[in-house]
Structure 1
Amino acid sequence: MELAQVRLLVSDFPLCYRFYAEVLGLKPQSGAAEGPYEKFSPTVGAAGIALQDRSMIAGVLGELGDAASGHRSLVVLRVDELDAYCEQITARGAVLLHGPAPMTDRMRVAHLKDPEGNLVELQEWLLLRG
C-alpha cells in the first residue's frame, strides 16, 4: 500500500486553487483553475496536496443535498488489487460506503470512514488501453 495523497475537499475551488498556487507557490499539475480537481507539488519532494470540489465526492457517496457540506479532507491510499483488499478489510470490520467502482477510465475506487468519521479513498490504477 502507498499513501497517494491527502486531498482537501473544498467548496470554493477557484479561491482555494489561487491560494495554493499563487499564495503558497505550489506547482499545479494540470492548471485546472476551475476544478473539479488539481494536484499541487512542492518544489522539493514527491508528495503533494490535492484539491477536489466537495460536491463531486458528495455526489459519488450519495450525500449531496441542497449544498455539499461535511467532509473536508480525504486520505487516499493506492492498492494493487482493490477487490481483494476490500474483501480483506470488510472481513476485519470495515464498512464500505461506496465501491469498488470505476471513478474514471483510469482508476477504480472504494470509500470508507475511519472510526472518527474521516473519509478514506482506496484507489486501484488501471492500465491504459492502447
Structure 2
Amino acid sequence: MELAQVRLLVTDFPACYRFYADVLGLEPQSGAADGPYEKFSPAAGSAGIALQDRAMMARVLDELAGPATGHRSLIALRVDDLDSYCEQITSRGAALLHGPAPLTDRMRVAHLEDPEGNLVELQQWLLPRG
C-alpha cells in the first residue's frame, strides 16, 4: 500500500487553488483553477495534495453535505529552510498562525490555514529522522 494523496473537500475551489499554487508554490497537475478537482505535487516528488469540490462529493456522500467546522485536517509539508520559506509565502499573502518555532529538539514548524480553514504545518527537520 502507498499513500496516493491527501484530498481536501473545499467550497471555494478557486481560492484554495490559488493558495496551494500561488502562495505555497506547489505544482498543479492540470491547471484546473476552477475545479472541480486538482492535484498538487511538491517539487521534490512524493504523495500529492488534491482539492475536491465539496458539493461534488456531497452528491456521493450525504454526510458531507453540511459545512465543515473546526480543523478537520492537517497537511504537513517538509521544507529545507523554514525561515526563508515563511518569508517567501508571507510576501505572497500567507498569514502565519504560529512560528517558525521549535516543536521538538529535532524539528521546527510554522502553521497557517488555507482559505477553507485547513491547517497546514510547515516542517524543517533539524536532525535526521531515525
Q: Taking structure 1 as the reference length, what is the TM-score of the superposition? A: 0.49
TM-score w.r.t. the length of structure 2 is 0.49
